[in-house]
Structure 1
Amino acid sequence: MIFIDYLENVELISCGFDHNFSITNKGEIYSWGLNSCGQLGLGDERNRNTPCLVSFPNDDLIDIRIKDIVAGNYHSIFLFENGQLWGFGSNRDGELGLGDKNNRSNLTKIPIENVQKIACSKFHLFSLAHDGSSYYAWGSTKYGNWLSSRKLDGQPASFSAASAMILESPITFGLTSKIKVFQFQEPISTKSIIRLFNNPDNYDVKFVIGDRRILACKCYLKSVSDYYCLMFSGAWKEKVEVEIRDYSYETYYAYLRMLHYGCIGINQNRITQLIDLATCYIDKRLMKHCKTFIRDDLDEQTMPTYLPLVIKYEIKELYDKLSHITIEQVLPKVTDSILQNNENSIEFLDWFYNQRRPFIPK
């Protein structure tokens, strides 16, 4: 977020090994960082230390919005809402899936269609895609360099499982993930307010999380949060240090920064704590953004992560999407499982009718 005052209305950020992308709410894409292989998509191989606008080719992408971006080791891939993949950057091991080993510095279409999700690694030279039913991989694998996409056998359950299948080592750290950035309609950020955040020259309270601290001003926090107004008028009134035990440093830092800068980045790793914090701190704005993030990221693969949150926090706005996913993606697999093994039908019927049996109190 080093360029937060340079770029406005940022919705999504993606970080590779040494290069970065951001998308604004207008669909504009900016890139900066290392560009030795053309991984910034700017038509050359010159490094950039400030964000530069990425231009699209004159084709059918003009009216199509970006769905996701992954920035790998030295390559980058864009996923559009129409399921098309476009990429640029290093291709020495086939990580762009274009059938050759030539680098690209301009956006180039990758020959694979109907993609729903993508992933690559900051530390390995391969790419992954998921079309809703199967996983595909290309680039450097333990089986050699795959210059074009190949469907993976064995029905891996996630990108981590898919990457473990093609790597020499099962270590799958470094898979890129998106951070969706939410900005308030009425930005809070001004230079005077920003100076109140984590400033050693101007604070009157320390939030202590483990062995780390975040500095803030009570008066400002009370003015922007009903929760802080209550706590600093009560249990925390005389405290110079407040210990936070329920949330990680990264989560609490992101929340306090949001109150000063007016925007927050949300990803899968942070969503569970953020939605709990939004509930406990009665922050309706943050709760709205958490619900929006879950809705946008909810599908068959992420349902095990988000279903407990939907149930626990009674997020009824997501019931309709859960129903569609169940009907369109989950039930067909249940049907296939029953057809492959008749005994599964007995187990399913037993479960189904037990669920429908009325509760009879003792």
Structure 2
Amino acid sequence: MNLLPKESVPRSECRLVLGILYCSAQKALEATLLSALKMLDVGKWPIFSLCSPEEIKLIRQACVFGSAGNEVLYATENDEVFVLGMNCSGCLGTGDMQSTIEPRRLDSLCGKKIACLSYGSGPHVVLATEEGEVYTWGHNAYSQLGNGTTNHGFVPCQVSTNLVNKKVIEVACGSHHSMVLTSDGEVYTWGYNNSGQVGSGSTANQPIPRRVTSCLQNKIVVNIACGQMCSMAVVENGEVYVWGYNGNGQLGLGSSGNQPTPCRIAALQGIRVQRVACGYAHTLVLTDEGQIYAWGANSYGQLGTGNKSNQSYPTTVNVDKDRVVEIAACHSAHTSAAKTQSGQVYMWGQCRGQSVTFPHLTHFACTDDVFACFATPAVMWRLLSVEPDDHLTVAQSLKKEFDNPETADLKFLVDGKYIHVHKVLLKIRCEHFRSILNNDDEIIEMSEFSYPVYRAFLEYLYTDNIRLPPEDAIGLLDLATLYRENRLKKLCQQTIKQGICEENAIALLSAAVKYEAQDLEEFCFRFCINHLTVVTQTQGFADMDHDLLKNFISKASRVGAFRN
């Protein structure tokens, strides 16, 4: 199979071909594309109809970008990187500005293993590898490539100024500015700065990466995002810091004035944010309770509030009664999407030119499909990635062997059911088993814990993950405490958080206190305070242990829960 270009084509011819494909190709090709894909579904983006089924079968990562979704970069199972499309401003990185309907290989990126990618409006592209290196190319009129010039970059070049010995783990682009997050929680920005979006305190463009300091100086940032001309950062304690353009209230500060340096959103005091996502001029955040807040521009209903009025303060978005686990937006569109814990996908905002002002339940299985089928332009809001399924890593091989009676040399009998395991793995992975297992053991009866709990524990030793409903995770928390498995204890707390509601909040708080799970205890306490009226009317509160009740009331009083 030849993945190299046959020839470049004139821009007008390429535009005509792409236009025809956008109008007619999707239905005819979707079945073929989907059957060719192992897991990564790119068939809903018409530009992939330029690729053969054989080429698509090899794709492991992909990003459709550009002003009309007319450019794409993808990586194959062999870590080769290819591009095709219009090539506006040299954004394909091929060394020229020629459009191409044949995939062209980017030799400089082959073998690099892409970790994350983002793009601007020019467009320009910012890419980070798994090694933490940063490469940029494309439009550069505002120094958004970070190389100290304003010359367009026609090939990917590494950005090293001020990033030497730094490992970049996340990238984000606004219309013409760039931002990266390092593994030690530092944020660096560069590019267009007419509204303070690089956070330097001035409005002068920034030609090279510089660390964003001010009130982020001693903070550890865990997530970043960019709107068209604004920037956002979430720090490890769940606070959100914002800077840049604020004409539509997209900074959530209660005003419309621009902000040249990072400023904390005071209206989110006491709320722990996990993720932030930015649209063209609106912002979404996801809290650790699975709740969405939105603010900013709302002319298409992209805030999901039921109207089209802009909001300069964080406003709750009601997505049914289910817990939200993912939010999606991108700075080139006015569309919002979310996925719930049960797998339902909702969309709102500008959807195929229509204004959807409330979250609308879709038939999609992922938020990516919302942007493929309903956003304008039809671009990807993130780099789509998939692991190959024809080669098993060591971790995948171990996972496959869990509870396999053909290779196991030990059985646990729990509630009348057998769980098949391997002695050597248990000894390697768990200090408890290292001290109790003997070579002549064949069957061990377990009566201290239920079958679902003990199976989840043993599976965790093979996979590093737990698969257990939140209501059963308390038993696993008990086991983790008894066996002194601190990492498992943290995972249990995360799982339990996902199942919290007004009815069980007190029970979960009691369990957290009992097992000295401080993070879970704080989470449950904050949940109870935020839902105090309903929680105090539950049977769990009526049956609350006297000492726990006393401590709860005292602590609630200290945080002002009973003020008029």
* TM-score normalised over the length of structure 1: 0.50
Match of 1:84 in 2: 239
Higher radius of gyration, 1 or 2: 2
The answer on whether the counterparts of 1:16 and 1:176 sit within 8 Å (CA) in structure 2 is: no
State the partner residue of 1:203: none
Q: Which residue pairs with 2:313 in the alignment?
A: 148
8 A contact 2:185–2:222 mirrored in 1: no
Moved more, 18-27 or 98-107: 18-27
* Corresponding residue of 2:464: 315
Q: Give the Cα separation in 1 of the matches to 2:187 and 2:461.
A: 36
Shift of 1:147: 1.0
Question: Offset of 1:322 from its aligned partner?
Answer: 3.6
Partner of 1:273, secondary structure, is coil
Aligned mates of 1:103, 1:42 — CA distance in 2? 13
Q: Which runs of 5+ in 1 are unaligned?
A: 178-266, 283-306, 340-362
Cα offset, 1:62, TM superposition = 4.9
Identify the residue that residue 302 of structure 1 maps to in structure 2. none
Q: Which amino acid aligns with 2:237?
A: N
Q: Is the 8 A contact 2:179 2:187 kept in 1?
A: yes
Structure 2 residue aligned with 1:132: 288
Q: 1:108 to 1:335 in 2, by over 3 A?
A: closer
Deviations 1:299-336 (A, max 9, x none): xxxxxxxx9xx989723597544422233332648959
Once the two structures are aligned, what percentage of the paired residues are identical? 22
Encode CA deviations 1:5-64: one digit per residue, 9 max, x unaligned. 43232232221233222233443321112222211111122223321222223xxx5543
2:265 aligns to what? 110
The alpha-carbon distance between structure 1 residues 63 and 24, as it changes in their structure 2 partners (threshold 3 A), is same
Matches within 5 A, 1:53-202: 53-57=211-215, 62-111=217-266, 112-113=268-269, 114-121=271-278, 123-133=279-289, 134-141=291-298, 142=301, 143-153=308-318, 154-155=320-321, 157=324, 158-159=326-327, 160-161=337-338, 164-167=347-350, 168=355, 171-172=370-371
How much does 1:120 deviate?
2.5
Residues 1:24 and 1:277: Cα distance change in structure 2 (over 3 Å)? farther
Deviations 1:257-277 (A, max 9, x none): xxxxxxxxxx7x43x417986
1:105–1:331 Cα change, 3 Å: closer
Deviations 1:271-292, CA, capped at 9 Å, x for gaps: x41798671799xxxxxxxxxx
CA RMSD of the aligned region, Å?
3.8
Q: Which amino acid aligns with 1:161?
A: A
Could you tell me whether the CA contact under 8 Å between 2:293 and 2:315 is conserved in 1? yes
Distance 1:108 1:279, change over 3 A: same
| Residue 139 (structure 1) shift | 0.4
SS of match in other structure, 2:497: helix
Partners in 1 of 2:262 and 2:204 — Cα distance? 16
Whether 2:497 is the aligned partner of 1:328: answer yes
Letter in 2 for 1:326: T
- Which residues in structure 2 correspond to 1:1-362 (within 5 Å)? 1-2=134-135, 3-6=158-161, 7=163, 8-17=165-174, 18-57=176-215, 62-111=217-266, 112-113=268-269, 114-121=271-278, 123-133=279-289, 134-141=291-298, 142=301, 143-153=308-318, 154-155=320-321, 157=324, 158-159=326-327, 160-161=337-338, 164-167=347-350, 168=355, 171-172=370-371, 269-270=384-385, 272-273=386-387, 279=393, 314-315=463-464, 319-330=488-499, 332=501
Cα distance change, pair 275–23 in 1 and its aligned pair in 2 (3 A): farther
Structure 1 127/66 Cα, relative in aligned 2: closer, same or farther at 3 Å? same
Cα gap change, 1:274 to 1:32, in 2 (>3 Å): farther
Deviations 1:230-277 (A, max 9, x none): xxxxxxxxxxxxxxxxxxxxxxxxxxxxxxxxxxxxx7x43x417986
Asked if structure 2 preserves the Cα contact closer than 8 Å seen for 1:98 and 1:148, the reply is yes
Once residues 504 and 395 of structure 2 are traced to their aligned partners in structure 1, the CA distance between those partners, rounded to angstroms, is 43
**Residue aligned with 1:97, SS:** coil
Spell out, residue by residue over 1:62-81, the C-alpha distance to the aligned partner (whole angstroms, 9 max, x if none).
54311211112111111111
Q: Return the letter of the residue paired with 1:279.
A: T
Letter in 2 for 1:119: V
- How many residues align? The count is 217
5+ unaligned residues in a row in structure 2: which ranges? 1-133, 136-157, 302-307, 328-336, 340-345, 361-369, 397-455, 466-484, 506-533, 535-564
| CA positional deviation for 1:89 | 0.8
TM-score, structure 2 normalization: 0.34
Q: Compared with structure 1, are the counterparts of its residues 46 and 277 closer, same or farther at alpha carbon in structure 2 (3 Å cutoff)?
A: farther
The 3 A distance-change label for structure 1 pair 4 and 273 is: farther
